[in-house]
Structure 1
């Protein structure tokens, strides 16, 4: 059930606000990711110990995701986004101060728990806002929202590379970014819907009543949702392993400096952005399943090149292919989960939870393996999961309104072909 037309906000400012929310979330994440070498050095920990820090963030993310549909059903997406972005901004400053100024592993670990929880809940809420805009607009544009997230990571990574090259401490950098992100958050949330515009997405059942706790848990028995989660698991592992380990992998595995490691992550983020910008047109033309399978093959090939080829230009091309192939898995999974608006909140939360399992299992596994066989060799496990996602891609096939919209998009092209074929 959706809100009456009269209560709907103007589409343009709503859509623009969602773009900005995704970008702010990306800048926050990139600031943390790109400065991981500096944080590790400030804390003076081994690679496997640093993996435990990332595990703390992953545990927080899973807890946030598991509770997200229930919190959103109670508070609505606008309030959740506000609280989530404020919490992650403050957390970012505390991570930098905890590592550089205090030098406390415990402070950084606890902060990352809250940082991860806020990130997980915000992730579901902003994807629901994106789904609301999609349904209002009548076209799948979720990859563009995720492109905005990637654009935010480019900006965040570029700033991080610059300040790292200047020798600015991570505490000063993270605190300054936190202030910037807080101000931007307080401005942008004013343009998100205040009323029950997203009621059907946020937690109403098919009869228009508030969904119950049992209703939201029942989604875990849906085979299609679990398979979509498996797609997102593999592709989130592909994306998340770059977020968590790419900078460190090239620094440790190829002997480059920290600024070059940040640049490598910037190449990946740029490829993700390009893939997501082009993704809407590609999805319109070919549909979800072929695009997901082709993307997975490209990501696997690029990752294999990075692992096996010790040549800067070729490795950079591999990183670019890895990012390009990883770009559409998560947004397409979110769109597929939201095909049924009456269960979108629970479905998106479930798919995101399965996908974020990659962030729970991945960091310590790659960290422990990386300590023994090197981070680059540890990335072979990521390649295997990408191929698993390719096999499960059929579950994301368009259904309901999404299938109807795709058929409508293709109708003019078919009519043109039929017209040309007439004698």
Structure 2
């Protein structure tokens, strides 16, 4: 077998492994989300207490994610993901047996930290696989996350229908998903760039001091762009079905279908994203996506028709889906600082995802939901304006004699 053939097989195996890791992350989280009503009922919690406990998922993620770049750089993405998988295999089943909301909050803090660091590490691995394959793959990896979440939610609904308790459901799911994920981890790239300070003649050079990623204006702009995209996506997750029910007189099933259209469009766009980026280029894809998303939201809000709302939801999902994956690719190209850059951009983005949609609700309390969601058009405009920050980095010489 030639070296080229062996390398190609190794890359294909790494691609499959990365898909598994993304799908597992989405599937486990959706498994928990699908059984929140059962856990609430077991604890006898009200909405206020449950909402306070759920907040600790975000707290765990936002506390841990800024550290994830250093962890990946020090230990490699394989080890970091392995630790996160094991932590989640223990924490998720605990959500089904906690005796009180206080312990639920503690378990969710661990889940949030594990999922957040896992998210950054798998994006670092995904970028490494892209580099080895020599083509854009990140949208497809994120499509696997979406497909995993659909599978997790579907199995959660089935478990609830069969009367399977959350503890047993979480334990069986975590054991199966964890075992498969840990098996495939062996095929992932390490995630640490190996920089040899010696040149071809054997002479060693002193690397130039690297600017902290927090002071990199390109990464700040990229983070803000992804913040806008994550806020726009989260706003649909939280408010689209409610808008259709309240302002388009949709039935419960019709409103749920609107969100299903948005979710299916997101997944489809990510599945097709690799080929679209290869054809149009990264920045034009982001720009067209931002325009498409803005048109969809305008159509949804300006035309008082249920059919127009469905088309608007479709365009909204198609347009916004590609921004986060391509931002991860762009951040990973930061010379010698890929893991730290991905961690920084992902943390900024998740802040938008977690904080933005509740702010929409606060505005809607004063103006109405239909008026508040016009803000999403502004967010799409932000993605359009900052899309140039995702342009490929041309790595220059970074050593001096």
TM-score by length of 2: 0.80
Partner of 1:45: 46
Residue 121 in 1 paired to residue 114 in 2? no
Cα 1:32–1:300 shift into 2, 3 Å: farther
Q: 1:107 to 1:379 in 2, by over 3 A?
A: farther
CA-atom RMSD in angstroms: 3.7
Q: CA deviation digits over 1:221-255, x for unaligned, max 9?
A: 11101001111111122233445566777788878
Q: Which moves more between the two structures, 176-185 or 124-133?
A: 176-185
Q: Note closer, same or farther for the CA distance 1:358–1:28 as it changes in structure 2 (3 Å cut).
A: same
Aligned to 1:159: 155
Among 178, 188, 191, which residue is 1:198 paired with? 191
Give the Cα–Cα distance (whole angstroms) in 2 for the partners of residues 325 and 261 of structure 1: 20
SS in 1 for 2:46: coil
Comparing 225-234 and 358-367, the one that deviates more: 358-367
| Aligned-partner Cα distance in 2 for 1:53–1:369 | 24
Q: What is the alpha-carbon distance in structure 2 between the residues aligned to residue 239 and residue 162 of structure 1? A: 27
1:288 corresponds to which of 282, 285, 298: 282
| 1:417 equivalent in structure 2 | none
Number of residue pairs aligned between Structure 1 and Structure 2: 382
Alignment-derived partner of residue 225 in structure 1? 219
Aligned to 2:398: none
Structure 2 gap ranges (5+): 1-5, 396-401
* Alpha-carbon distance, 1:167 to partner: 6.3
> Equivalents in 2 of 1:90, 1:21: separation in Å?
17
Equivalent residue in structure 1 for 2:180, among 179, 184, 200: 184
**1:18 and 2:18 matched:** yes
Change (3 A) 1:394 1:117: same
| Paired residue secondary structure (2:18) | helix
Indicate which of 380, 384, 392 corresponds to 2:386. Answer: 392
What's the counterpart of residue 95 of structure 2?
95
Higher mean displacement: 287-296 or 313-322 = 313-322
Q: Shift in Å at residue 346 of structure 1? A: 1.3
| Cα shift at 1:302 | 3.2
Residue 81 of structure 1 deviates from its aligned partner by 0.8
- Name 1:130's counterpart in structure 2: 126
Match of 2:80 in 1: 80
- Do 1:131 and 1:335's aligned partners in 2 also have CA atoms closer than 8 Å? yes
Shift, 1:118, TM fit:
1.1
* Cα distance in 2 for residues equivalent to 1:164 and 1:252: 28
- CA distance, structure 2, for counterparts of residue 207 and residue 369 of structure 1: 57
Matched with 1:358 is 352
Task: Give the TM-score normalised by the residue count of structure 1.
Answer: 0.76
Q: Does 1:234 align with 2:228?
A: yes
Given the superposition, is the C-alpha separation of residues 180 and 338 from structure 1 closer, same or farther in structure 2, using an over 3 Å criterion? same
Q: Give CA-to-partner distance per residue, 1:139-193, whole Å, 9 cap, x none.
A: 1211111111122122223333444566655555444432332222232223334
Q: Deviations over 1:188-227 (max 9, x none)?
A: 223334xxx53318xx698899xx9x95x71111110100
Deviation at 1:332, TM superposition (A): 0.5
Q: Take 2:245 and 2:159, find their aligned partners in 1: how far apart are those partners?
A: 17
1:91–1:379 Cα change, 3 Å: farther
Query: By percentage of residues, which structure has more helix?
Result: 1
Q: Distance in 2 between matches of 1:169 and 1:264?
A: 30
Residues 351 and 326 of structure 1: is their aligned pair in 2 closer, same or farther, counting only changes over 3 Å? same
Partner of 2:316: 322
- Asked if the contact 1:69/1:345 (under 8 Å) is kept, the reply is yes
Q: State the partner residue of 1:408.
A: none
Go from structure 1 to structure 2 and tell me whether the alpha carbon gap of 1:59 and 1:16 turns closer, same or farther (over 3 Å shift): same
Determine if contact 1:28/1:89 at 8 Å carries over to the other structure.
no
Ranges in structure 1 where 5+ consecutive residues have no aligned partner: 1-5, 402-423
Residue 334 of structure 1, CA deviation: 0.8
Distance of aligned partners of 1:206 and 1:117 in 2 relative to their CA distance in 1, 3 Å threshold? farther
Q: Is residue 131–residue 338 contact of structure 1 (8 Å, CA) maintained in 2?
A: yes
Bigger drift between 13-22 and 55-64 goes to: 55-64
Contact (CA 8 Å) 1:84, 1:121: kept in 2 or not?
yes
Is 1:334 aligned to residue 328 of structure 2? yes
Change (3 A) 1:306 1:119: farther
CA distance in 2, matches of 1:41, 1:241: 27
